[in-house]
Structure 1
Amino acid sequence: MILWLEDAFRRFQNKTRFHSYIPNLDWEAMHRTHGMAQLGVHLLQNLNSEETSETQISEPILTRAARIIQNVLNIAENDFSNEVPLTSYGVDSLSAARLSFSLRSVMDVTQLQLLADNSLIDLVNKFSETSQSTIPLINQDENVGRSRESTSMLMDKLVDKFTTNMKHLAPPFHHQHCVLLTGSTGALGCHLLLHFLQREDVQHVYAFNRESTDGLSAAKRQANALECQGLPNNVIESRKLTIVVGDLGAPQFGLASELFLVLRSSVTMIIHNAWKVDFMAPLPDFEPLILGTKHLLDFAINSPRPKLPTFSFISTIGVFQNFNTVSLFAPEEPILDAAIATRSGYVESKWVGERMVQIASELGLNTNVIRVGLLTGSTSGSWDPSHWFPALVQSGSRIGCLPDGNDTISWIPIDTAAAAIIDMQQTMNTTLHLVHSKPTTWHAVLEHVSTMLHVPLVPYAEWYARLKSTAEFATHGAKEGTRRTQALKLLDYFEFGLKPMHGESMGLLPKVASDKGLHASQTLMGDGIECLNASQVQSWVNYWKSVELF
């Protein structure tokens, strides 16, 4: 684009008159690297190249795509295989963004899909009409529909696979509380753990987590996690707490028989909060977590207690990826059509978990599904800088602006959300949405951020264009200055915000009904809850500065 502008300014200064402007570029090289859109095919007609518009049309998609990939990634033809995942050739978030753009002439494939261990064969099979086609793609919408259909079929099969042997159960009796909490070292898990330990009606908490990969003891890892959230870590010394290390996917959770029998005979409440947050992983990568959910449900169903444990599955409002009814809020109900949740393996796996729990409820187990909205930083301001909103905020200091908007947002502080989840244990056999009871606007929050970072607010489309241009410049050698810009890793996600058809925050999150969830929580309905304000925003920014995000 810089070369185009330079050429155009030079012509203008020389008083050159022209009715249509065609930049003086090496179009043959541009075509080899990026592929030529149909609008510009005529520019290749006079070039002495074998890649004319006719050969481009007759050439198989697989061959054309392979050549584009080899050029963009600088791979010798003899070193490239159509069956090897592109990530094996060193594809990262920046090169994936460039490659997604370059492949547009043959297929519509996103940055995330290029990073999901797909080979060229996989890409052609999933995102083009046929790998043997002799013409360019004609209707991408039909292809996307087929891809979404095949994914939703897999999601349905996983639900069937893990619910086939569930049995009908008898009505329950009353009991006291002994909690099994999974994922207690995560941000939400830490706050849930603290709330449970502080309650008089909770006799004991079993904090269940996988074995550490960093060599730390389970107790030390839990203490570090609490400290990171600004919470007192001396609670790990409580007599009410037992830290359990195991594997939900293994028989008896990978625990010694004695401990497993203690859990079976004592647990009265299960909060299944543990899940891998990876928006680039495909659905099959989450099957071990789905298997763990199955084992937890079996654990509850086969409990020897007179009243079976209650079971809460912590999901996300993000499961409404394809809820396109503009005038309605997504309902607090089970989603029976898997296609509504197809976009990334993460939300697809959450939908599978939801359906398993909802089916268990239909068979007699007391369960609920709690779909959580965006959780903001804790009281200390701690907010994982790898999440999308901190990444967006960081971009302001890198590209000199932040996106503005008047969308309604119902983000909720994480400590408030934890208290609400515990309130919701009194409301079973339903699906609940957990969002702020006093929404505010995107502008009200971003106005505080822009003031603190001394950058202006601009329309979302302009902010996204600047961010994307930063990624494109980085592919031409200026990577050092942009390498740590977290938002570049989420270009596909932020592109979704350009289509605010059914969501809040420029379409990044769906609009959801929340009446049932609000009325199931004294915390959310209480007088003490307040809108997000400048003080809270300042605590987030201070935390991000302390971890050198900017």
Structure 2
Amino acid sequence: MTSFREPGDTEWQYMRLHRPVADHVLMDEIAPGVFECVALDGLPSKGPSNSKPPFSITNPENSFRTADLFTRHPSKSNHYKYLSRLDDRITLVNGEKVLPIPIEGRIREEETVKECVVFGFQRNVPGALIFRSAGKASHLSDNEFLEAIWPAVEAANARAETFSRIPKELVVIKGVDVKYPATDKGTCIRAQVYQQFDEDIKRAYAAFEGSGKKKGSGLQKSIPELEEWLLSKFRDDLGVPLLSVEADIFSAGVDSLQTTRIWRYIVSDLDLGEEGGELSQNIVFEKGTVSALARHLYQMRTGQAAEEEDELQVMRQLIERYSSFPQHTPTIEQRPETEVVMVTGATGNLGAFIAAELLKRPTVSEVWAIVRASGQKEAEDRLKGALASRSISLTDEESAKLRVVAGDLSQEDLGLDETSLQHLRSSLTCVIHSAWAVNFNLGVRSFETHHIRGTYHLINLCLRSNLPSPARFFFCSSVSTASNTPKPASILETVIENLSHAQGTGYGRSKLVTEHITRAAMRATGMQARILRIGQLSGDTVSANWNDTEAIALMFRSILTTGALPELHERPSWLPVDSCARAIADIAIDTVCPDVDLVYHLVNPHTFSFTNDLLPALKKGSAFPDFETVTPQEWLQRLATSEQDPEKNPSIKLIDFLRDCPSLAVVKDPVSAGLMQRYIQTWMARWTGQ
């Protein structure tokens, strides 16, 4: 890049990227409007490579990621303005990464603001230190000053992702005379700012989270009074008017920041009794409706035994609500010669491989990927990124078959335009539904709008086909629908009738609800509506890329901090994700079965011994350093006493999960095929930087 400008060019703040250098530089958009400069192989000035597999369009082999961030000129595509270092991102407790620079930059535009520094490492939501400018609005108190600049904070929040938005209660105003660590150029030194103002930050969070409130203090309300109080908070403070106390909170558009604000109002204003300090910050997620939340808060204060919302009854209600279907009325006599397939969830791990597998098939002429996005370009960009991140490349012929559309499954028309709908009604032969939110904090109600109802709308699209037969429908379910079955047990390839056998989370329960709805569609209409019950997926067999934030990878990563792995007396069964996608495509395209109750189990038929097969294989030869094999109890103890910072030791995140899951064993297959060694090589390359 160069800062050289032609005479008359006044845009001195922008660097120019010209050829031939531009041919060997990638400006990778890592966040909306924020680009990281990446030096590509062939650039003469490039030093050693720091790229790590799996390689992709945005992560080329032998490239060097500079960690320098830029914004692009609004009209000149080769003009970039320096923004910050990538290292400045802030990791929240849920793992989301806040990019503070755009937020700080917008707030700093106010002439009354000298400096703004976003904080929030390992917290639920971020906050901001704002330093006042000398000689500006000096007559205002700190509270008045906050009100004056709040529109600027709201403007910054509007541009930021939901989890990055700053609540007013976490804005800390500092006076003109307060000094902060800065470079000679006046740029704040972030780490030193956090250290100097650590007590201010702690006090802000303590006030925000209601710390220090005496037990027994606060408002004491009956259940009806609590319902009205909560409704008013949603309506007046959040601007979310819920239709009733039974309305689903998340279907109304409430986000994670707003649930945190409701939690904060609860702990600061209400009497929650002796157990008030134990109120989970996920409580709004967990209860899902004002009615359930009010009942829970009342029971906490009065000491009554908490009555769990009867989620099994909710499941039965949802099954009944979405099990009535229209009959298929064909208007076209000729059967299509090729397959036109719709895939949901194509930006996810399994969905991306399903779409890629279908595009390879000569009998498939079109693959429609319906992506939840605000517009067509966003949908295309999201799918392109999803494929690239998994090292999935398409030929020109395959790309020509792909139709990417922005949609919304919660809408009856799926958010599609009429032209697309007419085309699909006259050509669609198959739908593979793999889109689902992996969120274990939500109750089953919260999966209704976009997932359970979305399934219903997809089945209706199949039934409204003009072709001689309805489009076939395949629902990607999960073994979590049966994971609460009393042990020992053998799960049959049929629908699970006992709803209590689903995993005790909204995720598992919503999957089982949808299994019943899918079967109901086949029973009522005769259409092919099938359930694919999928087991634990591992990385793919080509690039050996397995998400290293999953519990299995985190367990193996603990070798680097504990020097050990547990001896698990289990027989896991891995199923590589691309193998699963291939099996799904085979079933969807080539299989027709009249058995209404048949469920396909997609699990690896080959199991192995964790202790007798896997551990010896790893000791014999892998990228791991030497390690001990110890009892699960000793391994847990070592993990608990290892580095507590999840940034330095991500495996520490497993502690609570594993203590609730004594068997520890969630891993799966091909040790004998050597795939495990390749997973480890990929992980170690990331973890050690080698």
- TM bucket (normalised to shorter chain) is 0.5 to 0.7
CA-atom RMSD in angstroms: 4.1
For residues 331 and 124 of structure 1, do their structure 2 counterparts lie closer, same or farther at Cα, with a shift above 3 Å needed?
Answer: farther
Select which of 518, 527, 532 maps to 2:671.
532
Which residue number in structure 2 is paired with residue 180 of structure 1? 342
Q: Tell whether the 8 Å contact from 2:469 to 2:527 is kept in structure 1 after alignment.
A: no
Mean CA deviation greater in 486-495 or 219-228 = 486-495
1:227 CA displacement? 2.2
- What CA deviation, in whole Å up to 9, does each residue of 1:31-74 have, x standing for no partner? xxxxxxxxxxxxxxxxxxxxxxxxxxxxxxxxxxxxxxx99x78
Tell me the distance in 1 between the aligned counterparts of 2:495 and 2:455: 17
Query: Is 2:413 the counterpart of 1:249?
Result: no
Q: What residue in structure 2 maps to residue 32 of structure 1?
A: none
Is the CA contact (8 Å cut-off) linking 2:329 and 2:466 kept in structure 1? no
Whole-angstrom CA distance in 1 between matches of 2:562 and 2:262: 29
Q: CA deviation at 1:402?
A: 2.1
After TM superposition, give the deviation of residue 151 of structure 1 in Å.
1.2
Aligned to 2:380: 219
Change (3 A) 1:484 1:249: farther
Query: Aligned ranges for residues 62-77 of structure 1 at < 5 Å?
Result: 75-77=211-213
1:461 aligns with 2:600: no
Query: Partners of 1:358 and 1:381 in 2: how far apart?
Result: 35
* Superposed CA offset, 1:391-437 (max 9, x none): 22223323332222131112111111111112222044421111112
Partner of 2:657: 493
SS of structure 2 residue aligned to 1:424: helix
| Alpha carbons 1:112, 1:492 under 8 Å: kept | no
Structure 2 CA distance, aligned partners of 1:549 and 1:270?
42
2:550 is aligned, of 375, 384, 387, to 387
After superposition, the Cα gap between the structure-2 partners of 1:489 and 1:348, relative to the gap in structure 1 and judged at 3 Å, is farther
In 2, the alpha carbon distance for the partners of 1:156 and 1:236 equals 46
AA aligned to 1:466 is: R
Letter of the structure 2 residue corresponding to residue 464 of structure 1: L
- Residues 122 and 251 of structure 1: CA distance in aligned 2, closer, same or farther (over 3 Å): closer
| Residue identity in the other structure for 2:435 | A
Distance 1:338 1:549, change over 3 A: farther
Conserved in 2, the CA contact under 8 Å of 1:223 and 1:234? no
What's the counterpart of residue 439 of structure 1?
607
1:487 CA displacement: 4.1
Corresponding residue of 1:61: none
Q: What is the match of residue 315 of structure 2?
A: 155
Closer, same or farther in 2 for the Cα pair 1:182/1:118, shift >3 Å? closer
- Whether the 8 Å CA contact 2:551–2:654 is kept in 1: the answer is yes
The equivalent of 2:646 in structure 1 is 482
Q: Counterpart of 1:252 in 2: which secondary structure? A: coil
**Mapped pair 1:266 → 2:435:** no
Mapped partners of 1:198, 1:81: distance in 2: 63
Distance in 1 between the 2:493 and 2:608 partners? 21
Match of 1:452 among 623, 636, 659: 623
Structure 1 residues 275 and 342: CA distance shift in structure 2, 3 A: same
User: Distance in 2 between the 1:310 and 1:273 partners?
Assistant: 14
- Name the counterpart of 1:541: 680
Shift of 1:185: 1.8
Aligned positions of 1:13-52 closer than 5 A = none
User: Is the CA contact (8 Å cut-off) linking 1:395 and 1:467 kept in structure 2?
Assistant: yes
For 1:245, what is the secondary structure of its paired residue? strand
Number of residue-to-residue matches in the alignment: 424
Contact in 2 for aligned 1:173/1:307 (Cα 8 Å): no
Q: For the residues of structure 1 that align with 2:646 and 2:632, how far apart are their CA atoms? A: 20
Residues 532, 229 of structure 1: alpha-carbon distance in 2 compared, 3 angstrom cutoff:
farther
Question: Do the aligned residues in 1 keep the contact of 2:369 with 2:404 (CA within 8 Å)?
Answer: yes
1:445·1:534 contact (CA, 8 Å) conserved in 2?
no
- What are the within-5 Å matches in structure 2 for residues 28-427 of structure 1? 75-77=211-213, 87-88=260-261, 116=285, 131-133=301-303, 147=308, 150-163=310-323, 165-167=324-326, 176-211=338-373, 217-234=378-395, 238-287=399-448, 288-326=450-488, 328-363=489-524, 364-378=526-540, 379-425=542-588, 426-427=591-592
SS at match of 1:497: coil
Q: For residues 294 and 654 of structure 2, what CA distance do their matches in structure 1 show? A: 23
- The equivalent residue for 1:34 is none
Over alpha carbons, which structure has the higher Rg?
Answer: 2
1:376–1:413 CA contact under 8 A, matched in 2: yes
SS of 2:674's equivalent in the other structure is helix
**2:635 corresponds to which letter in structure 1?**
W
Question: Which letter maps to 1:497?
Answer: C
For 1:468 and 1:124, the matched residues in 2 are separated by 36
Residues 486 and 368 of structure 1, relative CA distance in 2, 3 Å threshold: farther
Equivalent residues of 2:263, 2:283 under 8 A apart: no
Q: What are the ranges of 5 or more consecutive residues in structure 2 without an aligned counterpart?
A: 1-205, 220-229, 234-257, 265-271
Deviations 1:417-464 (A, max 9, x none): 111112222044421111112221223335555653323222223323
Q: Give CA-to-partner distance per residue, 1:352-381, whole Å, 9 cap, x none.
A: 211111111111221110111111111211
Question: 1:52 is matched with which residue?
Answer: none
2:251 alignment counterpart: none
1:322-363 Cα offsets, whole Å, 9 max, x none, are 10131x312211112221114112111111211111111111
1:294 Cα offset (Å): 1.0
User: Which AA in structure 1 matches 2:313?
Assistant: M
Alpha-carbon distance in structure 1 between the residues aligned to 2:545 and 2:401: 26
Which whole-Å CA distance do the structure 1 matches of 2:259 and 2:401 have between them?
49
- Asked if the contact 2:566/2:630 (under 8 Å) is kept, the reply is yes
Relative to structure 1, is the Cα distance of residues 359 and 89 closer, same or farther in structure 2, using a 3 angstrom cutoff? closer
CA shift in 2, pair 1:401/1:121, >3 Å: farther
Secondary structure in 1 aligned to 2:462?
Answer: helix
Which structure dedicates a bigger proportion of its chain to helix? 1
**CA–CA separation in structure 2 for the residues paired with 1:156 and 1:539:** 45
What secondary structure, in the 3-state scheme, does the structure 1 residue paired with 2:358 have?
Answer: helix
- Indicate the percent of aligned positions where both proteins have the same amino acid: 25
Write the distance in 1 (CA, Å) between the matches of 2:414 and 2:396: 25
Alpha carbons 1:391, 1:485 under 8 Å: kept: no
Query: Structure 1 residues 464, 283: closer, same or farther in 2, change over 3 A?
Result: farther
Partner SS, residue 661 of structure 2: helix
1:132-160 per-residue CA deviation (whole Å, 9 max, x = no partner) reads: 238xx7xxxxx7xx63x711111111111
2:93 aligns to what?
A: none
* Partner AA of 1:400 in structure 2: G
In structure 2, what is the equivalent of residue 39 of structure 1?
none
Contact 2:410 2:453 in 1 (8 A): yes
Distance 1:220 1:106, change over 3 A: closer
Higher relative contact order (CA 8 A, sep 6+): 1
